[in-house]
Structure 1
């Protein structure tokens, strides 16, 4: 049986090729994602380990809200006097104070800030040549006074030359500095794509932090003293609220923070890889179902010669296993290439990564073969059982056809699967958060797709009849035959269409979600914001100087101005984001609607909250509210409550109160309202004149702000559509595969059609029309299912600010049209093959 199975595979190489391609595509996506993730993790692990290799202990303030992030964003700075205390501890060989903040430069050749693709702009003090340092000058020298050095990668990107006079933007007013050198960190030109600017320590303290203050202190131990021993010695001399950690712990924390971000990106990619594998399973199932139907007499003959049912089933399963193994092997190789392309794509967004080869872990190889072989074997299980169930004597009759299961049982099973899937989907989206919620949503969506795919044969005949009704009118007998071929085997047509349905359903769902987000943004800006102009940093999440908001106050025609800052605090045991701004302007510019108390009393020692949160947490206006800030617990008085606002969030404090507890003194946003009698064009000129000195800040009016938010939504949807394109391509393979096998199955019929006068052109048209009907059927199923998914997503995200449901009708129509065009594309190869058949040989085929 093994020899027979292998010969069958070799005899049907072309028939199984497209099935293998479906496996290759899915496995490549999974493998490429895992390889990229492992490569990035190892790269940053090595970078941080090398960057801290000379650090034995680090001293920092304790973050009372989140210990895991304390090393990355300490709550308060350290006094410079603590450096002398640390230096006096026995076992300390060297100690250096660090100054960290935000700094970006204006390219003197373009007048713009360098685009880092979302990576931060970091300002620090130069510590090269010290015992704890891992930086080295690449060209030039160390900075002094009004000078700076920059990482070599950023200098190369911006074509900066030593001696250039460059404007650097920090928390104060813009200032010009002279570039005197470039540097490498731990032998790398780039620090993970970030721009790193270093000043001498006094200058860094003045422009990034404050005189006589450090962000942290790094210490090197004398030879022979362990990191833990030195840490324990230093801990004994530190004041309350300050801690010492080992250099290894510091490196691990930094690496873990990066790995967490990479993990989110990896999960995002793996979701789409899973979708591709799921679609591929439909293709494999359909292919083996057709192959079994075409080989029924051959399999019956094997049974008649003594093969048992088990042997026949194992033979078909073995064929599937070989296809999966070959597909997984090729996919593993292609996955490495995909990882390289993904890495280049990351670099194309401006994120320069440290050098290093690809990392292939054993886990990746195991997962690749598990996905390829297991998915293929599972998809072929039902066709294999059907092949083994055929009675040998009955099957050898020329007119024998494999019996089909009742559509009634399919209807019951499909309805149950779809119903359970829909319930899980809605529950997962609405009630569960975190990884468990994502798992529930994924299971629910998968069951929905399986349910619809199971139900689709019940819908295939009437819907394909309706879709194909214009064809006899437009193409005559050729059109009628194309429609009848699509209707002939509803199970086959439905299975083929289901693969396309999955991809287009997800496209439709995200289109609905995107349209709803855009409408919600418009409604929010109109009803939940009271500003006329919005100023935001050009980089993602990048803060900018508070001097901008200060300079705008009192300008002619400007009534209210506030800068916005936010960070995390803990209230009643729960972490939440606190928003801060000018206590007078903030409630008005956020268009808050007061419920209880007096929100105008926002100021030092007070907090205002949304009424739903106050009710849920059991607070009362005038009552003390215990709040844990990064620098420790405190108590604020609840001054008032406001109606729930998606923009304001749950908690608001005055900017002065915020500054007492956080080390951040950069605005992330500025909102401006003009006076009622002011000319908006004149005010715009005033704002532009202030912002001109800060190229890292963009000014937008209401309409421009809405368009910018819509652009971001479109960019995200574009990425999603690109990732879903692989699933659609796999579905395209499925249509090609089905039509190719269908042509082989109908060889004699095609020969007879040619014999009675059908031309090659008419035959090609017939096959294309059949493909179009099947593809449009899948597209229609997809937009119906996708519309439901989009509605469910919109309802589930209502609390996140998506409070408007919008249906993108023309996008959905475009998806259906694209389905038809994909059908035409998929039919090219099968139609040409059918048209090239020799008439006499085709008629003689049995």
Structure 2
């Protein structure tokens, strides 16, 4: 009976269910889209290329005390000799890679990996090739790089590596699936910066020896190193960036899908409750003819289930097509993991269906609970004159949600880090639940506050104010989605704008240098010394950006959950001060020295918030895990404020040397002594002329180029934000339209008593303006409450930065959505003759 009645109601009054259908449709569409993108990233399968012919690979554990190392963990290079001595082993080759820049003639320089020539044995196409014999001063190139540079065997090329720029003869061309530059073994290991540590050891078996048996023998001598045989594990060693990109992409799509689910459940439940409350009259009549409360609730649940299933079915194809559009756009920008394929799967559809039912059915049951229990006469009365105020249970639930959001803001968000960022959407939704439950009270307050200026507009303003008081419940249903769009959009965008703004402000304030030298693949360390000798240069400092893990200074410390950004510098700390001013709080950068210069593991400078987080200070130790997982305990020589602009830790290059993949510095900061800039530029350009691709920039030009480097990340953020906020915006417009369509009888009665359409439009426009302004105000307050602790924990800034343009766009979008979603339905209502509209529903 309940299902039949539900179908009959949908057929007789489909307009009553359109709003719910739209909310469910777009919620399912976003979930299906994000689900397919998530599966495409999770199922990405990149086969190893260099190690394709290597059945057994020995590599280090990529984690340090349970946390992924920021760079690459390495094994003892001498392990290759011990493995080679095993009877089943044909060869064991220690492998390493380091960035070099190769140039020839006037061709553009090429950045590639430098490697020992012995690794050609397994790196060449087909595997198990004979390495070419290379004398001193000769190298081998892969065929693709040789063609790009326009060189053949015997030609001279220039190579920039850790020891500077030198000329080499091309001794061989290797048919390799990946770009590479091969040097004589001894020279390659010296150039790598870590001659006793290898990225991995490739093990080749003798004929007839299976890989599993070989792996078992290798494990006996491998010690703590991992012995890998699967293609996925070998690819993770060959392409560590693949795992990072895949993990980040899965995390992003998971967050998008999770946020979409949260918003969908919230919006659909709210829409379902509104839809059922708009049909109180029908419910009262059903009660009057003998329908039991359980039948009313079952009918509401059946209606919700039917609409939810229909919405998901209709959303399947558009959801997959949206996923295809986003997938293609991300793949063009190299933002998807290599090997990703977008294929249709029913799992996201099932998740969308479950989420739709989870939102619609409980929402319908809760919304129909009071109407089903009310006496028929009471229900008819409430349908004609909406109840004012809210019940005690709803009030207590709203206050509890508000208290929970405030507590999480103070305790979790203020702590910063990944945990706070992951908790932010939950806190936002708790605030929105509180707003939804306390909505009638907030709507009444908004009406009283905004009613003062509205009355100045005359009779229409007075009527809009009185109507808002009488319809506080309906008004709150319209305010909540507007507040949701504003709060979510401002929180997501405001977090990024605040971080970018603070990074730019702190970087500009900290950069004391006049010139910055850069090159595509990095610069040799000795170039900073040559730049310092240029007339007119007061100080020149090489800078390298790197990641570190940080923990307290006690011996048993474990690393924190998040890695921190650090900068290693060449030369003395006293020279660094002339190029970089991190705004020292205590101690002195002059006291920052490598090991042997005052402490067993040297000294470092630490950003004040990081020092507070790990409970250390000047003169006390701090535990650092370097890029390869090596653990050191330097002493803190200084703390400073501008961590967002200069990195969380400043330490000497000598401390990290040998622990990074690249032995090159990223850039050189140059401070002038006041000499004319033209002479300084000529001197610096002459000093770097022997380094292919090296350029000299002003500090301002360097800052601009740094901003441009964030463009891809900004596109990714905008894409994710656009999908989710677009859904929330559509949901808001949908709810506003539902509230407006419900007013057919009211609009018709006003027209019958003499109000002309023009004045009626003015009244409704003022009411819509009240809704938009209230939603804007509530949404902005919630966003600022959430943003302030997040931004303060991440940057130290006391208040988030919201650009005026962002504020104007948010206000404009809210106004456009609010007014259009109200005025367009009103136009349709005004087409109905008043005498007809009084007796029928929209």
TM-score w.r.t. length of structure 1: 0.79
Offset of residue 427 of structure 1: 1.0
State yes or no: 1:463 paired with 2:446: yes
User: Secondary structure at the residue paired with 1:555?
Assistant: coil
Q: Residue 833 of structure 1 aligns with which residue?
A: 828
Distance (Å, rounded) in 1 between the aligned partners of 2:541 and 2:76: 25
Q: Residue 789 and residue 537 in structure 1: after superposition, are their counterparts in 2 closer, same or farther (change >3 A)?
A: farther
Distance (Å, rounded) in 2 between the aligned partners of 1:71 and 1:224: 39
Distance (Å, rounded) in 1 between the aligned partners of 2:783 and 2:25: 26
Q: Residue 671 of structure 1 aligns with which residue?
A: 669
Q: Residue 561 of structure 1 aligns with which residue?
A: 540
Alignment of 1:510-589 (within 5 A): 510=492, 512-514=494-496, 516-517=498-499, 520-521=502-503, 524-525=506-507, 528-535=510-517, 543-546=522-525, 548-565=527-544, 566-568=546-548, 572=555, 573-575=557-559, 579-584=567-572, 585-586=575-576, 588-589=578-579
Q: 1:656 aligns with which of 650, 654, 663?
A: 654
Q: 1:149 aligns with which of 132, 142, 146?
A: 142
Offset of residue 410 of structure 1: 5.0
User: Secondary structure at the residue paired with 2:43?
Assistant: helix
User: Secondary structure at the residue paired with 2:669?
Assistant: strand
Q: Deviations over 1:355-386 (max 9, x none)?
A: 56424566534422222211222333321213
Distance (Å, rounded) in 1 between the aligned partners of 2:632 and 2:731: 63
Distance (Å, rounded) in 1 between the aligned partners of 2:677 and 2:799: 30
Aligned-CA RMSD value: 4.9
Distance (Å, rounded) in 1 between the aligned partners of 2:652 and 2:812: 54
Q: Residue 829 and residue 794 in structure 1: after superposition, are their counterparts in 2 closer, same or farther (change >3 A)?
A: same
Q: Residue 173 of structure 1 aligns with which residue?
A: 165
Q: 2:332 aligns with which of 326, 332, 348?
A: 348
User: Secondary structure at the residue paired with 2:209?
Assistant: coil
Q: Residue 476 of structure 2 aligns with which residue?
A: 494
User: Secondary structure at the residue paired with 1:381?
Assistant: helix
User: Secondary structure at the residue paired with 2:165?
Assistant: coil
Q: Deviations over 1:408-448 (max 9, x none)?
A: 7655543442232112122112237555x555444333222
User: Secondary structure at the residue paired with 2:542?
Assistant: strand
The answer to whether the Cα contact below 8 Å between 2:516 and 2:696 also exists between their aligned partners in 1 is yes
Q: 1:221 aligns with which of 201, 205, 218?
A: 205
Deviates more, 1:56-65 or 1:335-344: 56-65
Alignment of 1:184-199 (within 5 A): 196-199=178-181
Q: Residue 443 of structure 1 aligns with which residue?
A: 426
Q: Residue 230 of structure 1 aligns with which residue?
A: 214
State yes or no: 1:47 paired with 2:37: no
Q: Residue 22 of structure 1 aligns with which residue?
A: 23
User: Secondary structure at the residue paired with 1:8?
Assistant: helix
Q: Residue 297 and residue 657 in structure 1: after superposition, are their counterparts in 2 closer, same or farther (change >3 A)?
A: closer
User: Secondary structure at the residue paired with 1:837?
Assistant: coil
User: Secondary structure at the residue paired with 1:318?
Assistant: helix
Alignment of 1:383-394 (within 5 A): 383-394=367-378
User: Secondary structure at the residue paired with 2:662?
Assistant: coil
Q: Residue 772 of structure 2 aligns with which residue?
A: 775
Distance (Å, rounded) in 1 between the aligned partners of 2:691 and 2:174: 24
Distance (Å, rounded) in 2 between the aligned partners of 1:291 and 1:241: 63
Distance (Å, rounded) in 1 between the aligned partners of 2:279 and 2:589: 81
The answer to whether the Cα contact below 8 Å between 1:320 and 1:380 also exists between their aligned partners in 2 is yes
What 5-or-longer segments of structure 2 have no aligned partner? none
Offset of residue 554 of structure 1: 0.9
User: Secondary structure at the residue paired with 1:827?
Assistant: helix
TM-score w.r.t. length of structure 2: 0.80
State yes or no: 1:414 paired with 2:398: yes
Alignment of 1:68-87 (within 5 A): 73-75=72-74, 78=77, 86-87=83-84
Alignment of 1:48-447 (within 5 A): 48=48, 52-60=51-59, 65=64, 73-75=72-74, 78=77, 86-93=83-90, 95-96=92-93, 98-103=95-100, 122=113, 148-149=141-142, 171=162, 172-173=164-165, 196-200=178-182, 202=184, 205=188, 209=192, 215-222=199-206, 225-234=209-218, 244-247=227-230, 249-251=233-235, 258-351=242-335, 354=338, 357-359=341-343, 363-395=347-379, 400-401=384-385, 403-404=387-388, 406=390, 412-431=396-415, 434-435=418-419, 437-438=420-421, 440-447=423-430
Q: Deviations over 1:226-248 (max 9, x none)?
A: 4343234345567x897754455
Distance (Å, rounded) in 2 between the aligned partners of 1:598 and 1:355: 46
Q: 2:783 aligns with which of 776, 782, 786?
A: 786
Q: Deviations over 1:108-133 (max 9, x none)?
A: 9995989xxxxxx6555789996676
User: Secondary structure at the residue paired with 2:322?
Assistant: helix
